[in-house]
Amino acid sequence: MFKVLYKKELAENITLMNIEAPRVARSAKPGQFVIVRVGDEGERIPLTIADYSVDEGWVQIVIQSLGASTRKIVALEEGDSLTDFAGPLGNPSDFVKEPMEEVRARKMLFIAGGVGAAPVYPQVKWLREQGVEVDVIIGAKRKDMLIFAEQMEAVASDLYIATDDGSAGFHGLVTDLMKDLIDNQGKKYDQVVAIGPMIMMKFVALTTKPYGIKTIVSLNSIMVDGTGMCGACRVTVAGRTRFACVEGPEFDGHEVDFDEAMRRQGMYKSQEARAAAIAAEREAGHKCRIGLDK
């Protein structure tokens, strides 16, 4: 069992937890994820590692409670335990394996949309520990939905905030802010790393292409079982079928077929909504009227 050591609500439906998992913490690298499960018959949920401490033996995860299974995780309190916490899984970010002198010479911009700020943070933190300075953009719909801003400010060279409604920082999309930095503020970037909603990553990749900026995206949001066996994370990259959980989760954003990935992602939304409604009925003590309990 894996104990919840710390729990904090970051924003509406977004919760941070530190989980006691010393073996995972010792092996974790930026860009990797874990598989979490509550109960012996619980669903396997892949969650990107948001932070970790080797000395204290914990791994940090951030959960957006959208479906029945994520609601079960968020319902746990400090002192409760997860049934399974397997990892680290997936491939670390490419820069972890590259010669550090090459990485230090690179001008990098990280773009985090919504919950994507959680997996961006350990990457920026790791780079800062290696003496690499990077800029970061965090985007959200509004100010109260921003997460990891304080943590990111401590490790980023320059931190920029964008909100759709203008309630904090730049008024507009992260792509508009990125263009403003390049076109009007004299910023030059050799590489952009974008993590967030699929539609955001698509338009980041479309925006960077005319500039000739290498762009990396993380497809963690389409993963389901984390082993490649379910096939839910199939995505076309450079004309080839790839599996995000075992071959990624990071890929060249200019080679990803985002439209296909978004169609695949949409296939599961109705099932998640149905499962959430069933769970709500059961919590209220009602017999499920949605079709599973007959």
- pLDDT tens-place string over residues 39-84: 887 788 888 899 999 999 999 999 988 878 888 998 999 999 999 9
Residue 88 has pLDDT above 50, yes or no: yes
Boundary-marking domain end, from 48, 69, 89:
89
Percent with pLDDT over 90 in the chain: 62
**Average pLDDT rounded to a whole number, residues 1-22:** 93
Q: Which domain holds residue 16?
A: 2-89
- Within-domain flag for 294: no
Q: Are residues 102 and 211 located together in one domain of the fold?
A: yes
Q: How confident is the model over 144-167, as pLDDT tens digits?
A: 999 999 999 999 999 999 999 999
Residues 76 and 100 reside in one and the same domain: no
Cβ atoms of residues 18 and 60 within 8 Å: yes
Residues in CB range of 263: below 8 A, 6 or more apart: none
Give the per-residue pLDDT at 294.
33
Q: 236 lies in a domain?
A: no
The predicted model scores a pTM of 0.84
Q: Verify that 64 and 168 share a domain, yes or no.
A: no
CATH code where residue 64 lies: 2.40.30.10
Peptide bond into 210 cis (omega under 30): no
Which of 186, 218, 250 finishes a domain? 218
Same domain, 78 and 98: no
Q: How far apart are CA 225 and CA 42, in angstroms?
A: 12
Q: Are 235 and 257 in contact (CB under 8 A)?
A: yes
110 falls within a domain: yes
**The token pair that represents 13 in the structure block:** 């439906």
Number of domains in the chain: 2
Q: In what order do the strands lie in the sheet with 81-82?
A: 81-82, 2-11, 14-20, 58-64, 45-53, 33-37, 84-89
In contact, 25 and 88? CB cutoff 8 Å: no
In a domain, 223, yes or no: no
Q: Last residue of a domain, which of 55, 89, 123?
A: 89
